Amino acid sequence: MAEVKEVKKEREPLFGKKNRLLITDPLNDSNPITVQVLGICSALAITVKLYPALVMSISVLFVLGAGNVVISLMRNLIPNRIRIIVQLVVVASLVILVDQVLKAFVYDVSKELSVFVGLIITNCIIMGRFEAFALGNTPWKSFLDGVGNAFGYAWILLAVAFFRELLGSGQLFGYQIIPESWYLSEGGFYSNNGMMLLPPMALITVGIIIWVQRAKNTKLIEEN
Amino acid sequence: MKLFKNILESVKPHFVEGGKLEKYYPVYDGFATFLFTPGHTAHSGAHVRDAIDLKRTMVTVIFAMVPALLFGMWNAGNLHYSALGLAESMTFMDKFLWGALKIVPMVIVSYGVGLGVEFIFCIINKHQIQEGFLVSGMLIPLIMPIDIPLWMVAVSVVFAVVIGKEVFGGTGMNILNPALTARAFAFFAYPTYMSGDKVWINTSGAEGQTIVDGFSGATVLGSYATGGEVQYSTMDMFLGFIPGSIGETSTLAVLIGAAILLYTGIGSWKIMLSGLIGALAMGLLFNTFAEYAISPEQQQFMAVPAWQQLIMGGFAFGLVFMATDPVSAAQTERGKWIYGFLVGFFAIMIRVFNPAYPEGIMLAILFMNVMAPLIDHYVIQANINKRKKRLATVKAS
C-alpha cells in the first residue's frame, strides 16, 4: 500500500494576518478603482450626490460579499467551460434581489440609480473577484475578499461623491452646507461649480485621488 | 537695472546649496533669469545656438497681445457707457480707465495665482521654473467676459495650471492649451457667468444711471445662434466695437499681434493660414447648403458670408494666439497644415450647428490639441513608408 503523505493543514484563525490582509489590501494597495481601474462607469454616473453613492456602495457590498461566498461554495461543481455563465446567473439573481429591495423601501433612490443597479451585473469588480478569487478559495476567505473589495470601491465612491456634492451643489446628504447667504443670488459672492455635476469632473476627481494615493504610496509607482 | 543686479547678488548666497533658503532656489533662479540673461551656458555636446530662449519667446507673444489688451480696456468702458447712454459725454480716457480698473485686477489675479501654483510645484518637484505661464497668464483675462468675479478667474487658473499642465509634467508637456483649459473650465463650471447675453457688457450704473431702451448685450454669435437681430455692422465687427470676451473683439488688434508673431517667426504661419482656409471652406460649404438648414435661425446663420465668419467672435484671436501654441499644436510641418485646417473647419461647424456653444473656436482648438499627436504620428509614419518604398526601388535597380 502506497504511503499517503498526510498534508498537514494549518488552521488559520478567522482573522489571522493573511485574512486581515484580504480586507485591508483592497482599501489601498490593490484598490479596485484607483489601482485596478475597474468599475469606473458607476463611479462616474452615481457620484453626483452622496446618498445614491452610499446606497450603491451598500448594494455592491451585499452582491459582492454574498456572490463571492456562493461562487466559492460551488467552485468545485462548476464546469470550467461554462463558469462565466454560472457567475452571471449568480450575480444577476443577487442584483435582482437588491433591486427589488430598493424599489420596495427606498423608491426615490431606486429611481435615481435607475439602470445602474441593474448594471451592477456588469460591474467589472464583481466578475473580476469571482474569477480571480472566489473560484479558487474557501468561502470564508472569499467573503472577506468580497467585503474588502466592496469597501475599497465604496470609499472611493464616497470620497468622489463628497467633493462633487459639496462643490457642485453646496450640500452633503442633501443638507445645505454652504450658507445660503453666500450665493450671488442672495447678494453673496459664491456660485456652485456646475462642472462638478458633469461626468468628466468625476473622472478628474478620481484622477486626483489616484495622484494623491500614488504620491503617498510609493509601492504603486511602476518602474519603467 | 544695476539695483536689481545688486539685490540678486546679495541674496544669492541664501539660495545656493548650503544656504538656508536652499529649497527655494527655483524661485530665485526664476526671477534672476527673468531679469537677466543667465551667465551659465552649456559647455559640451551639441546644442542649438540661438539668441532667443523661452523667456524671450514668451515676452514677444505678450507684446503681440498688448494691442488686443489695450483695445479691450477701451472697448469694455465704451460698451459700459453706451449701455447707460453716456457714450457721447464720456471722454476717451474715461472709458479707457473704467476698463483698465476692471481688467488690471483680473490680470493681477491671473498672474499671481498662476505663478504661485507654478512656484509651489517647482519647489515640490525641485525643477526649474519655466516661463510657460507668462503667456497663459495674459491670455486668460483676455478670453474672459468683463463681469466675471475675480475668484472664478482664480479657480479657473488653478485648474488650468494643475490639471492642464502640472499633471502632465509642467511647461512643454501639456496636451491642452492651458489658457483654453481655464476658459473651458469656467465655461462649464459657471455657465451663467460665461455665456448668454448678460455677461459681456457691464450694465451696473451709478445712482441715477439707467440702461438705455432697446439695449441688448448679446454677442454677434449669440444673436445668430438664437435667431436675434444682429445690431452691429461688418466694420464694427472688424474694428471690435462689439460685445465679447475682453481681448477677442477686435480683429484689427489681433491682426497687429499676428503681424508681430509672424515677423518674429514665433507663431506658425502654416497654422494661421491653414486655419483661415479651413474656416473659409466650412463657411462656403454652409453657404452652399444653407437651404437645407433644419431651422430658420440656422439657415440665417449658415447663409452668413464665409469671410464674415472670420471676424465674428473669438475666431481670429483663438487662431492667432492659441492654435499656434507651439506645445499643444502639431509638431510636424505637414501636420501643422492638417491641424490648422481642421481647427478652422471645426470652429465654424461647432459655432453654427450647436447654438449652445456659440464660441466654437475654443472647443475646436481643444479638440485638435488632443488630436495633434495622432496627426503627427501619421505624418511621421507616412514619411517612413515613403522612404522605405524609395529604398526598395533603389535596391531593385
Work out the pLDDT band at A119, boundaries 50, 70, 90: confident
B340: confidence class by pLDDT, cuts 50, 70, 90: very high
| pLDDT at residue B51 in the model | 64
B33 three-state secondary structure: helix
Mutate to test the interface with A, among B159, B163, B185, B188 (most CBs of A within 10 A): B188
- Which has more confidence, A133 or B23? A133
3-state secondary structure of A176: strand
Evaluate if pTM is beyond 0.95.
Answer: no
Closest to A44 (Cα-Cα) out of A122, A148, A123, A161? A161
Which chain B residue has its CA at the smallest distance from A196's CA?
A: B189
| Element (DSSP H or E) covering residue A172 | strand A171-172
Selected residue of A169, A195, A204, A206 to mutate for chain B interface (largest B Cβ count, 10 A): A195
Binary contact (A195, B185; C-beta < 8 A): yes
ipTM, two decimals: 0.79
**Confidence check: pLDDT of B275 > 90:** yes
Please, which pLDDT band fits residue A138 given cuts at 50, 70 and 90?
confident
Closest C-alpha to A62, from A120, A14, A11, A119: A120
**CB pairs A-B closer than 8 Å:** 23
What average pLDDT does this structure show over B179-202? Answer: 84
Question: What integer is the mean pLDDT of B11-40?
Answer: 70
Report whether pLDDT(A183) > 80: no
User: What is the mean pLDDT of the segment spanning B342-360?
Assistant: 86
Q: What is the pLDDT of residue A69?
A: 92
Interhelix angle for B360-396 vs B178-189, to 10°?
140
> Which residue on chain B is closest to A197 by alpha carbon?
B189
Q: What is the pLDDT of residue B1?
A: 64
DSSP state of B241: -
Nearest to A191 among B163, B185, B190 (CB): B190
The verdict on a CB contact (< 8 Å) between A194 and B188 is yes
* Rounded Cα distance, B281 and B337, in Å: 14
C-alpha A128/C-alpha A102 separation (Å) is: 25
Task: Report the C-alpha gap between A31 and A37 in whole angstroms.
Answer: 8
Asked if pLDDT for residue B380 goes beyond 90, the answer is yes
Instruction: Say whether A191 and B188 touch across the interface (CB within 8 A).
Output: no
A168 → chain B, closest CA residue:
B189
Return mean pLDDT, chain B: 83
Higher pLDDT, A169 or B26: A169
Residue B79's region, left for phi above 0, alpha for psi from -120 to 50, else beta, is alpha
Scanning B117-156 for CB atoms below 8 A from A yields: 149, 151-152, 155
**pLDDT tens, position by position, A44-80:** 888 888 888 888 889 889 999 999 999 999 888 888 8
B158 pLDDT above the threshold of 80: yes
Q: Give the span between the Cα atoms of A224 and B219, in whole angstroms.
A: 51
- Please answer yes or no on whether A189 and B163 come within 8 Å at the CB atom: no
Q: What is the mean pLDDT of residues B205-232?
A: 72
Q: How far is the C-alpha of A162 from the C-alpha of B353, rounded, in Å? A: 36
Rounded average pLDDT over B269-282: 92
Asked if A191 and B185 come within 8 Å (Cβ–Cβ), the reply is no
Minimum-distance CB partner of A195 among B151, B167, B188? B188
Alpha-carbon gap, residue B201 to B83, rounded angstroms: 8
- Grid cell at residue A46: 452615481
pLDDT at B229: 73
Q: pLDDT band for A122, please (50, 70, 90 cuts).
A: confident
Helix (H, G, I), strand (E, B) or coil at A222: coil
Smallest CA–CA distance, residue B148 to chain A, in Å, is: 11
Q: Are B217 and B261 in contact (CB under 8 A)?
A: no
Helix-strand-coil percent breakdown of chain A, rounded to 5?
70, 5, 25
Nearest-CA residue of chain B relative to A212?
B167
Q: How many CB atoms lie within 10 A of CB B286?
A: 24
Axis-axis angle for helices A83-105, A50-74 (nearest 10): 140
Q: Where are the domains of chain B?
A: 14-37+54-206+225-245, 267-397
**pLDDT score of A3 more than 60:** no
* Cβ-based neighbour number of residue B68 at 10 Å: 30
pLDDT at A24: 82
Mean pLDDT of A106-111: 84
The gap from C-alpha B104 to its chain's centroid, in whole angstroms, comes to 17
pLDDT value of residue B47? 62
For residue B344, the one-letter residue type is G
Supply the pLDDT for residue B42: 62
pLDDT of the residue at B338: 93
A188 touches chain B (CB under 8 A): no
Q: What is the rounded CA–CA span in Å between residue B176 and residue B178?
A: 6
For residue B118, is pLDDT > 90?
A: no
Closest listed residue to residue B73, CA positions, set B146, B138, B156: B146
Of B155, B227, B231, B161, give the one whose Cα is nearest residue B193: B155
